[in-house]
Structure 1
């Protein structure tokens, strides 16, 4: 495989978003530290989660392309098909291979480690990964993308990691996972704002499309505010130590993002400011990590 093809697959994987997977895994792992440390189990979870994240991204590219959702002036996706860097057939085979790898790792976690209770969570994660934009369900086309992402990247990933390490689930891990899931979902929500026009034209009724421009802006403010409130509540109840309040240092980033959205007439231009919502996730995620140490 030549360098250009490797670069194309890296582009398809969308590396800037992999931090979304790493933070909840670290949180779940650290919360389970009192039950012993297992590098092997951590590695299994890490590989499985990154494989599913990767395959979700390219599956979205694949099915959005064949359904016409990422054509024309659409911004979403990696654009590797449109740029003729990777063929549709190559993406299809990669999807099959990656799901197979994830399936094998999951079989070992459930049956090899005898964590049978994890099976429903893993099945939910796999099916929601595939049917985000794949027919016949296509829940991302019906305004449910953020909900499923919040559940998968929050409770399922944090509690699932904790479960693999500690051999049991934890309500504490569940509650701590709530702002994590909300933060990852907020990235998806923000990234859908520039594509509202093309998504609606393609019949992709995302949450932002359903809300319309005015309510989408209001929901963005409320969404990010709730994240801060949940972190404060976790510290107040003792589920997070005081370093969790370091998240309040990101309020200026939050305010800057809101000012940008409010002052931008053409929301297609919001795509170039996506770094701010990712910064909010990264620094707030770090504050939660420090809070569980």
Structure 2
């Protein structure tokens, strides 16, 4: 593989978004560590399998959105490797199969060796959500359900799944902890859909933002932020997080900056240039919440 090919696959993987997988898995591991139940190898395998699924999800979105024509024309969605001719559709399809296969083998290895048969439905949900976000016949992302599934998978499924593998049993106390994490990842997806509202609607992709329209989309953005901070505050007061979690309030200036952009920019395509602020918001708050679990 030459350097240009490698760069193309890195572009397809969309590395800035991998933090969305790292934070919830680490939170689950920290919760297990608090009960003196942490082993490096199982956690490393969980990380590898989850990152492979995340990679597969990203390129599956590229593959099926391209087939649907959603990423054509003036659309700015996806990694653009297909539109720029850096990777062929056939190569992308083979990579999707390979990534899911390797991730499944790692998952089944953990289930077999740790006797975690009861976790199989959770794995099945993760696979279903990963592939059928834009893949037919389900394509739930085209029906305004993307944020809901992302919140569930990147919150409860990942936090509790990681914790379950390390503990060897379900710990329901991990569920509340996962909620603000899931909401923050859903916020990333939601914000990323704002610049593509017009092209998504034209292609028949009825995302939540498209269904709401600009005014409604702004309102739901504020609801997301309020829900995130409210859940963190409630969980801190309830003792799930240590007082360190109050440091998440330090990220308010980031949201104020984004809000001003959303209100002032007339052409929302330009919001794509500012998505880094939402990812930074998530990364900083994720690290604070992990620290608040120790």
Q: How high is the TM-score relative to the length of structure 1?
A: 0.99
Distance in 2 (CA, whole Å) between partners of 1:106 and 1:289 is 24
Contact kept in structure 2, 1:69 and 1:202, CA below 8 Å:
yes
Distance in 1 (CA, whole Å) between partners of 2:127 and 2:110 is 14
Distance in 2 (CA, whole Å) between partners of 1:237 and 1:36 is 24
TM superposition shift of 1:36: 2.2
TM superposition shift of 1:117: 1.4
2:292 partner SS: helix
- Structure 2: gaps of 5 or more residues: none
Q: Which residue of structure 1 aligns with residue 256 of structure 2?
A: 255
Distance in 1 (CA, whole Å) between partners of 2:2 and 2:91 is 15
Distance in 1 (CA, whole Å) between partners of 2:187 and 2:250 is 18
Query: Aligned ranges for residues 202-241 of structure 1 at < 5 Å?
Result: 202-241=203-242
TM superposition shift of 1:15: 0.4
Q: Which residue of structure 2 aligns with residue 31 of structure 1?
A: 31
- Alignment of 1:185 with 2:194, yes or no, is no
Q: Which residue of structure 1 aligns with residue 92 of structure 2?
A: 91
Query: Aligned ranges for residues 277-292 of structure 1 at < 5 Å?
Result: 277-292=278-293
| Bigger mean CA offset, 64-73 vs 35-44 | 35-44
Distance in 2 (CA, whole Å) between partners of 1:151 and 1:9 is 28
Q: Which residue of structure 1 aligns with residue 166 of structure 2?
A: 165
TM superposition shift of 1:111: 2.1
Distance in 1 (CA, whole Å) between partners of 2:217 and 2:145 is 15
Distance in 2 (CA, whole Å) between partners of 1:57 and 1:41 is 24
TM superposition shift of 1:113: 1.1
TM superposition shift of 1:163: 0.3
TM superposition shift of 1:279: 1.1
Q: Which residue of structure 2 aligns with residue 110 of structure 1?
A: 111
1:292 partner SS: coil
Q: How many residues align?
A: 293
Q: Which residue of structure 2 aligns with residue 245 of structure 1?
A: 246
Distance in 1 (CA, whole Å) between partners of 2:32 and 2:196 is 39
Q: Which residue of structure 1 aligns with residue 12 of structure 2?
A: 12
Distance in 1 (CA, whole Å) between partners of 2:172 and 2:288 is 20
Distance in 2 (CA, whole Å) between partners of 1:170 and 1:190 is 32
Distance in 1 (CA, whole Å) between partners of 2:72 and 2:190 is 20
Distance in 1 (CA, whole Å) between partners of 2:111 and 2:152 is 20
CA deviations on 1:235-278 (whole Å, 9 max, x unpaired) are 10000001111100001111111111011110000000101111
2:173 partner SS: helix
- Structure 1: gaps of 5 or more residues: none
Distance in 2 (CA, whole Å) between partners of 1:224 and 1:117 is 34
Contact kept in structure 2, 1:35 and 1:165, CA below 8 Å:
no
Distance in 2 (CA, whole Å) between partners of 1:256 and 1:187 is 15
TM superposition shift of 1:112: 2.1
2:92 partner SS: helix
Contact kept in structure 2, 1:58 and 1:95, CA below 8 Å:
yes
Distance in 2 (CA, whole Å) between partners of 1:116 and 1:288 is 30
TM superposition shift of 1:27: 0.5
CA deviations on 1:144-198 (whole Å, 9 max, x unpaired) are 0000011100000000000000111122211000000000000000000000000
